Amino acid sequence: MADRWSLTSLVDERLGRESGTLFAQAELPVALCYPSPYRVAMSSLGFQTIYREIHAHPRCSAERAFLPDDVGAWRRSGAPLFTYEGRRPVAELPVLALSVSYELEVASVCELLDLAGLPVLASERDARHPLVVAGGPLTFSNPLPLAPFVDVLVLGEAEELIHELLDLALEGLPRAALLDRLAGRPGFHVPGRGPLGDIARAADDRLPARSQIVTPDTELRSMFLIEPERGCSRGCTYCVMRRSTNGGMRTVAPERVLELVPDPARRVGLVGAAVTDHPRLPELLETLVGGGRQASVSSLRADRLDREIVALLARAGARSITTAADGASERLRRALDRKTTETQLVRVAELVREAGLAHLKLYLMLGIPGETDADVDELARFGRELSRIIPVVFGIAPFVAKRNTPMDGAPFEPIASIEGRLARLRRALRGKVEVRATSARWAWVEYQLAQGGPEAGLAAMDAWRAGGSFSAWKRAVKERGVRPRETRRVPDGRLRLPQLAVWPSVGAV
């Protein structure tokens, strides 16, 4: 059985392997919390950026806390959730700030608050408890399921908003007065005090986001992460980070990126929604690789990959290339405004083989509105063709419509239909292409949260309290009356499949 000593020892070991950790005594300490385990949290650029920004405030400091690797063991120890830097119970700090990345972490927010010894519902907390704030990537799409649990939502890019929030918190206002002040400010939403406003955009001189702490104990082992660009210039209809979000794509000069990469960093990750669209990416990679560093790039786009970039990635330590096709067929990709073609993907496969890399991985979605078995058969045929060039892995995820996209309001394909098409694809590709798929059941849960409001958050709380199984989620969604948003006509030009002039009715789970 774990005890407080063993838990503290684990924290000590992790801190001992970190570089860049910040320790400070401050007038206003903030418990900066991530509702997933340490290895995931410390791979988040947003989380690390807000950590640095809080410490940059002259009167504030941040102490991190995470969802334990083994929640059951932590509970059995009887220890309250405590911070890494100060070993203080999270509930004793005046502000608790949550960074939430995606929908399925909403239930983990409930878990984290409960482990901290706090009432999960904001309505059950008072001035004795910390001010609970939430921000992060989820706020770009639909943060409303978080509303029952937080006092304030910080919407969008928070590099500047966090300072505004801290300044107000330092004024020592009563809780109600502080919330009144925040409710009227752009970039903040106080649940129950008006509708959601626009998401915030940080000033260009705040870019780029980058790692503050480097550690071997993450998903991206000992890698320094930095964004050479933010946002995207493309118009994919399913994507929250499309060109209409926060002004589209903003690039950072390679000179600025290189200036911020610490000399000891031997592994550098270039992170962003559309890194291969950066016009000077080859120059940046060449400098990093020429300096003896390994480098990786997120969001590789098939139409941007050429012999020079693939060769540079191979020199930088890549063993494979991952890109996205998304739609199962050319027809669906055109409808999604994805525009990736088979010709482009074949060319990428040839470049991967030429560079001596091990395999090509393609991300794809099943369950897109209007999809048929014929689309899946086209994907199977194409997968077999690619496998003659290079070993291929398909990463399959069910389509989940997100708010603040042109696909907002699209229904979720019935689980049985998704699973049937996946089985059809596996049969057609057996022995040719490795197919790795995420769960259609949990994608359905994600959909309820992506499309729902505060009632979806309450369903997440109920499901968590009932053990978190899929059956608990189904029951909670039904009992809380969670309903998909009313389906609507597709705006002209946003989805160009004639049979989708009106969304089909929502199918059964």
Q: Which residues pair with 398 in a beta bridge?
A: 366
- Beta pairing, strands 229-230 & 250-251: antiparallel
In this predicted model, which residue has the larger pLDDT, 483 or 382?
Answer: 382
Which element (helix H / strand E) includes 347?
Answer: helix 342-354
What digits encode the pLDDT tens for the residues 400-426?
A: 999 999 999 999 999 999 999 999 999
* C-alpha–C-alpha distance, residues 50 and 31, integer Å: 12
Burial class (CB in 10 A: 0-12, 13-18, 19+), 144: buried
Decide yes or no: CATH 3.80.30.20 for domain 204-399+414-427. Answer: yes
Q: Per mean pLDDT, which range of 99-113, 121-135, 241-255, 343-357 is the poorest?
A: 241-255
Beta strand segments in 130-216, E: 131-135, 152-154, 188-189
Tell me phi and psi for residue 226, to 5 degrees.
-155, 150
Residue 7 has a pLDDT of: 82
pLDDT of res. 1: 45
pLDDT band with cut points at 50, 70 and 90 for residue 127 = very high
The structure tokens listed for 487 are 């389906």
Question: What pLDDT is recorded for position 376?
Answer: 98
pTM greater than 0.85 (yes/no): yes
* CATH topology (fold) of 4-189: Rossmann fold (3.40.50)
Mean pLDDT of 148-177: 96
pLDDT higher than threshold 80 for residue 491 = no
**Would you list the domain boundaries of the chain?**
4-189, 204-399+414-427
**What is the arithmetic mean of pLDDT over 426-453?**
97
**241 in Cβ contact with 140 (< 8 Å):** yes
Q: How confident is the model at residue 493 (pLDDT cuts 50, 70, 90)?
A: very low
Give the residue-averaged pLDDT of 1-7: 68
| CB distance 39 to 2 below 8 Å | no
Answer for the pair 284, 309: CB distance below 8 angstroms, yes or no: no
Q: Tokens 């008006």 label which residue?
A: 194
Whether residue 84 has pLDDT greater than 90: yes
Q: What is the pLDDT of residue 459?
A: 98
The per-residue pLDDT for 495 is 38
* Model confidence at 509: pLDDT above 60: no
Task: Indicate the SS3 state at residue 61.
Answer: strand
In 47-180, the DSSP E strands lie at: 60-66, 95-99, 131-135, 152-154
Say yes or no to pLDDT of 492 above 60.
no
How far is 182 from 154, CA to CA, in rounded Å? 10
Average pLDDT over residues 185-214: 94
- Per-residue model confidence as pLDDT tens digits over 27-81: 999 999 999 999 999 999 999 999 999 999 999 999 999 999 999 999 999 999 9
- Mean pLDDT (the chain, rounded): 92
Please tell me the predicted confidence (pLDDT) of residue 485.
66
User: Any idea what DSSP says for residue 138?
Assistant: G
Label residue 488 by pLDDT band (50, 70, 90): very low
**What's the confidence (pLDDT) of residue 489?**
41
Pair 20, 214: CB distance under 8 Å:
yes
